[in-house]
């Protein structure tokens, strides 16, 4: 039976990237997406914005929503200090399988825990299952209609502290209008928009960085 796009992406990484070299894994995926098949990784342009925010925050606890194939997981994990607690959630079990292999190819498997399940189910379990009290940095890159319910869930579960940083991908394309309206109008967040483009295209997109004020 025909392979899936994530499986073809994994093969490209295993063929073209050097084991233990995160930069080569990132480059191999970007090359695959530019020259073979488009895929919904955050990409190199928005990936650089992600890198700069992660570096600025230098978080001790990190949560990613929407692992997909692990591209942004590798981008984040390669920048973290030793001992950082990094969890990434993925709903699709086939994506979990591919992501774990891509993360392992980069040599970063000890830096991150890939958890299969829905964010709505798993976010309330963060404290009991992983001993997390609050997240310093959260990257939202999963189903766009989950951004708003999940940020409210973070508040309800007490998973944000004064200064927690949330970075959301695709706030323009495909778009997360209700999330944008919420974080931009809530007195509990200080928000800033980073203009960019939909990965590997010239379509307008961007990322929204929101700091929880407590």
Q: Which residues bind ligand BIE (CB under 6 A)?
A: 40, 66, 141-142, 144, 169-170, 174, 199
Q: Which is nearer to ligand BIE, 71 or 135 (CB)?
A: 71
Q: Contact, 114 vs 96, CB < 8 A? A: yes
Q: How far is the CB of 19 from Mg ion (least distance, A)?
A: 26
Place of tokens 């692990």: 70
CA-based torsion, 90, 95, 99, 100: positive or negative: positive
Count other Cβ atoms within 10 Å, centred on residue 7.
15
Q: Which of 85, 111, 170, 209 is catalytic?
A: 170
CA 45 to chain centre: 14
Single out the segment in contact with Mg ion by CB under 5 A; choices: 17-25, 55-63, 77-85, 165-173. Answer: 165-173
**Residue positions counted in the chain:** 214
* 145 is annotated as an active-site residue: no
Q: What residue 63 binds from Mg ion, ligand BIE, none (CB within 5 to 8 A, per partner kind)? A: none
Count other Cβ atoms within 10 Å, centred on residue 48.
14
Angle ∠(137,142,145) on CA atoms, nearest 5: 110
Q: Contact, 36 vs 12, CB < 8 A? A: yes
* 144 is annotated as an active-site residue: yes
Q: How far is the CB of 131 from ligand BIE (least distance, A)?
A: 28
Residue 169 touching Mg ion (CB under 5 A): yes
* 169 is annotated as an active-site residue: yes
Residue 170 touching Mg ion (CB under 5 A): yes
* 170 is annotated as an active-site residue: yes
Q: Which is nearer to Mg ion, 164 or 170 (CB)?
A: 170
Q: Which residues contribute to the site for Mg ion (CB under 5 A)?
A: 141, 169-170
Query: Mind telling me the catalytic residues?
Result: 141, 144, 169-170, 199
């Amino acid at each position: 039976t025909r392979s899936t796009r994530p499986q073809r992406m994994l093969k490209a990484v295993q063929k073209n990237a050097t084991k233990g070299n995160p930069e080569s894994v990132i480059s191999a995926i970007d090359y695959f997406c530019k020259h073979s098949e488009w895929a919904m990784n955050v990409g190199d342009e928005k990936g650089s914005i992600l890198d700069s925010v992660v570096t600025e925050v230098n978080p001790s606890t990190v949560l990613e929503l929407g692992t997909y194939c692990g591209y942004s997981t590798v981008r984040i994990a390669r920048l973290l200090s030793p001992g950082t607690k990094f969890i990434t959630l993925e709903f699709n079990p086939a994506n979990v399988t591919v992501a774990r292999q891509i993360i392992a190819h980069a040599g970063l498997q000890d830096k991150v825990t890939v958890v299969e399940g829905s964010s709505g189910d798993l976010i309330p379990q963060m404290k009991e299952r992983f001993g997390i009290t609050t997240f310093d940095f959260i990257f939202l890159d999963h189903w766009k209609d989950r951004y708003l319910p999940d940020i409210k869930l973070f508040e309800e579960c007490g998973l944000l502290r004064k200064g927690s940083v949330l970075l959301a991908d695709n706030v323009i394309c495909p778009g997360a209008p209700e999330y944008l309206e919420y974080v931009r109008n809530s007195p509990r967040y200080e928000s800033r928009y980073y203009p960019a483009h939909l990965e590997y295209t010239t379509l307008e997109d961007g990322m929204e960085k929101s700091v929880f004020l407590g």
